[in-house]
Structure 1
């Protein structure tokens, strides 16, 4: 009898471990609202880039920052879509260690953040570079320090962190600015 219970105990332990692991991985995934905002952001980001009038005529570089393995799937899909629409190569970068993020001054770094949990003081410090424009489609992103975000009300509109953008000598076409000026910074949820 003792020999029969050991395999059952190991089986129970294995199943319990698998269940706990699957629960912990799904809890790190984006919720439904943020998943939808990420998809909307992927559609809207090319319009933001097209409205951009950078002071320096440097080549553009697309950087997609993801948080974990579950978020990597969203990031890859978004990166492929944006790369095709903007005709730019992209880099997928894990944002879990922002201090290791190196951005080149030889490019205009167009950074797309794919997880609201990555918008931290440490990440924003790494992104606060003269040739870098950060974008996150999540609610309250601009209020938390990202350069460009979205406002989703009756429609989808851009939201700009005008103070940060002006300090770095970035500019947007006047029509884009006039639309964005109607949507002041949202508070983070």
Structure 2
């Protein structure tokens, strides 16, 4: 599957290019600081590629064939709504159409039993990060945070930023959530063990 590998690399290169470009004006205006705004911009673009690396993503489709993705925020619904639009514009993950829901971190634990394929953290959640990680582990879904330090605190995936942008995965959290990630993706990702 050489075509898929080159697609992954193009996605990663595109994400690195996004990091170089200043965050868009709407995101810069609502994010706490410029670095967080850039990380969120890059993260929302990397998130679908990380989801596509889940070997069991097909089983996470709803009865209608969609993948449900959650955008979780603390108190900035406007930011989360704009990020939801970015995801909706992507259209699909590995051919599966996506449906995006926005909810607060407080509402996450009370969300109904409908299947979820992935969770994106839109704002720094502070001491609420472990509760989101526990939710995702119990539901066996991939949780992604673009914020520095969240992967080390139990979130399954994020981004590592140095001279380039790479996916960053918490190997223990992946195991706790029962997530099986494609070997090629694991070879290119930076790992926290």
Tell me how far 1:179 sits from its aligned partner.
1.0
Matched, 1:112 2:117: no
Structure-2 separation of matches of 1:112 and 1:124: 11
- Distance, in Å, in 2 between the alignment partners of 1:99 and 1:73 is 17
Give the Å deviation of 1:111.
Answer: 0.3
- Does residue 67 in structure 1 map to residue 74 in structure 2? yes
Q: Deviation at 1:131?
A: 2.6
| TM-score normalised by length of structure 2 | 0.70
- 1 CA distance for matches of 2:112 and 2:157? 18
User: In the TM superposition, what is the alpha-carbon distance from 1:172 to its structure 2 partner?
Assistant: 1.7
Residue segments in structure 1 that go unaligned for 5+ positions in a row = 1-27
Task: For 1:73 and 1:110, locate their aligned partners in 2 and report how far apart those are by CA, in whole Å.
Answer: 20
* Contact 1:135/1:149 (<8 A) preserved: yes
TM-score by length of 1: 0.71
Question: What number of residue pairs does the alignment pair up?
Answer: 153
Q: Pick closer, same or farther for the CA change 1:61–1:133 going to 2, 3 Å.
A: same
Preserved contact between residue 118 and residue 142 of structure 2 (Cα < 8 Å): yes
CA contact (8 A) 2:57 2:117 kept: no
The equivalent position to 1:92 in structure 2, one of 85, 88, 102, is 102
5+ residue gaps in structure 2? Answer: 1-29, 62-66
Map Cα deviations across residues 145-178 of structure 1 (whole Å, 9 max, x no partner): 1111110111110111112212333112211000
User: How far did 1:102 drift?
Assistant: 2.5
Question: Do the aligned partners of 2:160 and 2:167 also contact (CA within 8 Å) in 1?
Answer: yes
Q: Considering only CA atoms, is the larger Rg found in Structure 1 or Structure 2?
A: 1
Partner of 2:38: 36
* Contact 2:141/2:179 (8 A) holds in 1: no
